[in-house]
Structure 1
Amino acid sequence: MFQKEIDNALRAFDKYIICIDKTPDDCARSLESLMQKAIKAYENRGEGMRHGIALDNQVTIILSQGEGELPLCGIYFNLHSPYKKSVAKKVKKES
């Protein structure tokens, strides 16, 4: 299920994504694993819930209830830049 979406995501990863943490083979394994987790989350979702979500640090997969028999599938690459400024943590003053 959703092999076409996984194949499209792998082509995009190979062409556009630079990821130090994952090789294309690692990405393929992650997508397969995350898809199984998203399917399980979708099938076991609570009353009134419409989504099944699975993610890691680089990829998010969302399955959403649609009009058809199969859920809609979204595969997103979580963008990160080494130039992103980190948010300063508040330090509690001691008296």
Structure 2
Amino acid sequence: MVRVRIEYNRTDCIGAWACVSLGPNDFAMNYDESKADLIEGQNPKPGLQVKELEVDEERLQQIKFAAQSCPPQVIKITNIETGEVLVNWEKPHK
């Protein structure tokens, strides 16, 4: 098991559904806004959704694949225990 932090720059989401299709345990489509939401994510500031969770290797791979498949690359995945950035984003939330 590994503890990860998912950071999602919702502001720059284009509603492509890649994260929802590939990571349905962590992302859901918000049809009213045509953007994804991070399931059980917290909003430390407007436009940014964050959550921390412990996952097994299979779930970790699913989360990483969903983040890597995001066309605008607005999802960052970090191993909390080591600080290693597993998937970096192109458009960090400001």
- For the criterion TM > 0.5, the same-fold answer is no
Higher helix proportion: 1
Higher strand proportion: 2
TM-score, normalised with respect to structure 2: 0.30
Higher relative contact order (CA 8 A, sep 6+): 2
